[in-house]
């Protein structure tokens, strides 16, 4: 870093990624700031700079050794920062630059024989709330929210018909007698539907009788608008809830629909369809919907599988407009995935168990290439348009354009 670059950073002041400190602070204070930065997106601590941006300079001897010791002894897991000393930022006053990258795991401050968590909130370093900490672990891949137990849920809250259906017809395995509660508990424990502490979020979402009772955000809000913008006078609006999985007949046909089937039926009755008779009027042409079914199904199932169920108070939203369809899923893409990487088939999931079970029902490809092979491919074949994928704040949107049939 040049002196000019450093002065520009100082001139802009503290922010989410920059902190000013004297070099006389206690070691645990520096560790706390570095932990918070690493738990966000990484950042820089400038030693020898006051809160108001004035230069106080470096006074401490063997500063580099002191900083490196703190990063190894006071931070868990330890950090290896980039360390640099910029000389004569002002006459006779040096400034030390300590830079840390975004942590691959969640870091803690080790002080007074205990771990403490810190996050960056604007230009402030704070202890996270339980919800913020849980999301932090989830973002780093250290926590699978779907395996969190719901303490209030009991076996009576699971649809045993669907569970028997799943293990018998989908997994082709023997199941305990319907009155053998312990046998069922053992089976569900071994398949992560139950953990120490109770029935998991995944089990309730997949096989719960009324998932919204425990997870009000587990449904889908669906709208069909006549124009190109949202309107209070929607042609149809609906709320879909219930288990993700369908109840199948012995030959594999849905007897009671799951969330996907309910939502897809809404789409089918609210999008245009073309047909008519062949020239001569002898045979009817095959009906053709405004959007290819394979692409729509893939977009809906991806929203169900990958949404962040820790974000309460908001459902998945599906909206049909005159010129497009949008599926908005709460939560940013997981584990470093970006819209661009999705198009190449890059695979990562937030809810692995939910994904595995829905793949067992053959809703998903085993290769994890649903976005390029289904959404992109079928939209191009159907009307030559490219689907749009975007992240805005805490939401991920898939946008399918109506276009003109090819």
- What are 18-40's pLDDT values in tens digits? 999 999 999 999 999 999 999 99
Average pLDDT for residues 324-349, to the nearest whole number?
77
**Confidence label for 277 from pLDDT (cuts 50, 70 and 90):** very low
pLDDT of 283 strictly over 60: no
Phi and psi torsions of 126, nearest 5°: -140, 160
Q: pLDDT, tens digit, for every residue of 204-218?
A: 999 999 999 999 999
More confident call, 315 vs 367: 315
pLDDT of 338 strictly over 80: no
Q: Report the C-alpha dihedral over residues 260, 241, 188, 140, rounded to 10 degrees.
A: 80
Average pLDDT for residues 272-301, to the nearest whole number?
72
pLDDT of 276 strictly over 50: no
pLDDT of 112 strictly over 60: yes
Q: For domain 144-406, give its CATH number from 3.40.50.300, 3.30.565.60, 3.40.50.11540, 3.40.640.10.
A: 3.30.565.60
Average pLDDT of every residue of the chain: 88
Intervals of CATH 3.30.950.30 along the chain:
3-143
Please give the pLDDT value at position 31: 96
Please give the pLDDT value at position 250: 72
E runs forming strands in 268-349: 273-274, 288-289, 316-320, 324-330
For the chain, what percent of residues have pLDDT higher than 70?
92
Which residues, other chains included, contact 253 with Cβ-Cβ below 8 Å and sequence gap of 6+? Answer: none
Intervals of CATH 3.30.565.60 along the chain:
144-406
Q: Determine the Cα–Cα distance for residues 392 and 308; give it in Å rounded to an integer.
A: 14
Q: What is the pTM of this model?
A: 0.68
Which residues, other chains included, contact 89 with Cβ-Cβ below 8 Å and sequence gap of 6+? Answer: 3, 6, 7, 48, 55, 57, 95
Phi and psi torsions of 228, nearest 5°: -95, 0
**Confidence label for 345 from pLDDT (cuts 50, 70 and 90):** low
Average pLDDT for residues 3-32, to the nearest whole number?
94
Q: pLDDT, tens digit, for every residue of 93-108?
A: 999 999 999 887 899 9
SS3 50: coil
Average pLDDT for residues 226-231, to the nearest whole number?
90
The CATH superfamily assigned to 3-143 is Schlafen, AAA domain (3.30.950.30)
Average pLDDT for residues 39-51, to the nearest whole number?
94
Please give the pLDDT value at position 104: 77
**Confidence label for 44 from pLDDT (cuts 50, 70 and 90):** very high
Please give the pLDDT value at position 177: 92
């Amino acid at each position: 870093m040049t002196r000019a670059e450093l002065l520009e950073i100082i001139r802009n002041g503290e922010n989410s990624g920059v902190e000013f400190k004297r070099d006389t602070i206690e070691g645990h204070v520096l560790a706390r700031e570095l932990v918070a930065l690493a738990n966000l997106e990484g950042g820089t601590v400038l030693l020898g700079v006051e809160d108001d941006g004035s230069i106080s300079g470096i006074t401490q001897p063997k500063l580099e050794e002191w900083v490196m010791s703190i990063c190894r002894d006071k931070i868990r897991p330890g950090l290896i920062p980039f360390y640099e000393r910029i000389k004569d930022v002002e006459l006779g006053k040096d400034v030390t630059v300590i830079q840390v990258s975004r942590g691959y795991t969640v870091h803690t401050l080790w002080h007074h024989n205990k771990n403490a968590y810190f996050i960056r909130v604007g230009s402030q370093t704070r202890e996270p709330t339980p919800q913020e900490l849980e999301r932090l672990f989830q973002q780093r891949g250290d926590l699978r929210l779907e395996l969190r137990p719901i303490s209030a849920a009991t076996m009576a809250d699971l649809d045993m018909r669907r569970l028997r259906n799943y293990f018998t017809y989908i997994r082709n395995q023997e199941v305990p007698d319907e009155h053998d509660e312990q046998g069922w508990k053992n089976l569900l424990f071994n398949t992560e539907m139950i953990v120490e502490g109770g029935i998991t979020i995944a089990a309730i979402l997949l096989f719960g009788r009324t998932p919204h009772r425990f997870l009000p955000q587990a449904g889908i809000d669906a709208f069909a608008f006549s124009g190109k913008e949202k309107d209070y006078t929607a042609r149809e609006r609906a709320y879909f809830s219930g288990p993700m999985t369908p109840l199948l007949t012995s030959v594999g046909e849905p007897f009671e629909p799951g969330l996907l089937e309910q939502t897809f039926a809404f789409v089918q009755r609210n999008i245009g369809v073309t047909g008519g008779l062949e020239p001569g009027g002898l045979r009817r042409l095959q009906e053709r919907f405004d959007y290819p079914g394979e692409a729509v199904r893939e977009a809906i199932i991806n929203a169900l599988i990958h949404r962040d169920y820790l974000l309460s108070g908001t459902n998945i939203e599906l909206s049909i407009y005159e010129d497009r369809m949008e599926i908005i899923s709460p939560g940013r893409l997981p584990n470093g995935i970006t819209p661009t990487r999705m198009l190449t088939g890059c695979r990562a999931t937030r809810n692995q168990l939910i994904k595995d079970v829905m793949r067992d029902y053959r809703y998903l490809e085993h290769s994890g290439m649903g976005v390029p092979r289904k959404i992109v491919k079928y939209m191009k074949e159907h009307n030559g348009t490219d689907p749009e994928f975007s992240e805005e704040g805490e939401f991920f949107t898939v946008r399918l354009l109506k276009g003109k049939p090819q």
